[in-house]
């Protein structure tokens, strides 16, 4: 549920800005995170393929993120492939003790840059080892098992691929396990098999199919991390969003991020960018408080979206 909060004009981020969004502790762990994180997908080249045009700029974004208080980064070794993790290692290794890196497995990249499923045991084991190698770590903090769209829609069993990650966790290659692109039924099945610390699904101001799931996860102390928090490849556009931004003297994208932070205390954000300036804009959302009447107007956006 939303909390009533007073409005506040966003300001230029300081070194403590990421902490202004509050913190969340992953269940069954000693990992307490600032709720405002960073998604590293855009650090790779166009279409998340190959190296970036400006490697120094990519490194600068990561270093600025950590300097501004971001303490969790979302990534995958199939971004690039391999490129994004190698940039993270170049920019931040040896990693700060407080930094948590969350990665995901379940896809691979084909020669045509497509994203085929990679959920067999050999593919999952190889993906975990690729992440370990390219990040330069002995164990991965959190690994999300990403299911495919058709599997989510059909509530396909997650037991077989999840068992592979459970075994890798037992062997010490993985510390914690999460799920990605999954239905509520799949989350329930996963939780019956092993401890799940987070769920990462498509969710934003206009795409709210997971409202009930978010509330259920909050009751169990499990984090929910929306991907495409700003609309993904189709940025959010709404007159209500634009009007709210104008009233709060900020940007529509900052309002969209602030709305997510106020939606539920278990939501962690990972907006991505390859620009330091855009990174700082995103972080300003951590200081923004949306008043209750404006929240009501924003909540109505989803009712006008055809799902």
| Cβ–Cβ < 8 Å for 224, 36 | no
Q: Is the residue at 37 inside a domain? A: yes
DSSP 117-179: B--SHHHHHHHHHHHHHHHT-SSEEEEEEEPPHHHHHTT---HHHHHHHHHHHHHTSEEEEEE
Task: Of 40-44, 67-71, 168-172, 298-302, give the lowest mean pLDDT range.
Answer: 298-302
* Percent residues over pLDDT 70 in the chain: 92
Q: Report yes or no on 12 lying in a domain.
A: no
For the segment 142-160, the average pLDDT, to the nearest whole number, is 98
95 flagged as catalytic: no
Residue 195 is assigned to a structural domain of this protein: yes
Q: Which of 78, 79, 95, 203 is catalytic?
A: 79
Average pLDDT, the chain: 92
pLDDT range class, residue 234, cuts 50, 70, 90:
low
What average pLDDT does range 31-38 have in this prediction? 97
Percent of the chain with pLDDT over 90: 86
Residue-range definition of the domain harbouring residue 36: 22-238
| This prediction's pTM | 0.92
Domain contains 89: yes
Q: What is the CATH number of the domain that holds 156?
A: 3.20.20.100
* Domain-located, residue 244: no
Per the domain annotation, does 303 fall within a domain? no
CA atoms within 13 A on the CB side of 237: 3
44 located within any domain: yes
Please tell me whether the peptide bond between 154 and the residue prior to it is cis, using omega within 30 degrees of 0: no
Residue 263 in any domain: the answer is no
Nearest CA among 85, 16, 100 for reference residue 44: 85
Domains identified in the chain, total number: 1
| pLDDT confidence bin for 227, thresholds 50/70/90 | very high
């Amino acid at each position: 549920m939303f909390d009533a909060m007073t409005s506040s004009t966003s300001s230029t981020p300081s070194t403590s800005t990421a902490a202004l969004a509050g913190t969340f502790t992953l269940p069954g762990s000693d990992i307490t995170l600032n709720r405002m994180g960073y998604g590293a997908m855009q650090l790779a080249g166009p279409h998340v393929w190959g190296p970036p045009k400006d490697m120094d700029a990519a490194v600068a974004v990561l270093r600025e993120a950590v300097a501004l208080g971001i303490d969790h980064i979302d990534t995958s070794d199939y971004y690039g492939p391999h490129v994004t993790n190698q940039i993270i290692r170049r920019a931040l290794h040896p990693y700060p003790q407080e930094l948590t890196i969350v990665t995901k497995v379940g896809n691979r990249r084909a020669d045509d840059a497509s994203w085929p499923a990679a959920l067999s045991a050999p593919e999952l084991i190889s993906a975990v080892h690729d992440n370990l190698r390219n990040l330069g770590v002995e164990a991965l903090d959190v690994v999300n098992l990403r299911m495919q769209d058709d599997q989510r829609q059909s509530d396909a069993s997650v037991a077989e691929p999840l068992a592979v990650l459970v075994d890798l966790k037992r062997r010490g290659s993985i510390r914690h396990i999460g799920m990605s692109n999954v239905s509520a039924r799949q989350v329930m099945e996963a939780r019956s098999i092993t401890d799940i610390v987070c769920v990462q699904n498509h969710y934003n101001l206009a795409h709210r199919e997971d409202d009930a799931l978010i509330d259920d996860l909050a009751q169990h102390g499990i984090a929910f991390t929306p991907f495409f928090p700003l609309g993904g490849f189709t940025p959010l556009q709404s007159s209500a969003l634009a009007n709210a931004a104008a009233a709060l003297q900020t940007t529509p994208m900052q309002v969209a991020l602030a709305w997510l932070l106020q939606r539920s205390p278990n939501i962690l954000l990972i907006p991505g960018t390859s620009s330091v300036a855009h990174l700082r804009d995103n972080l300003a959302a951590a200081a923004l408080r949306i008043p209750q009447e404006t929240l009501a107007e924003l909540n109505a956006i989803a009712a006008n979206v055809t799902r």
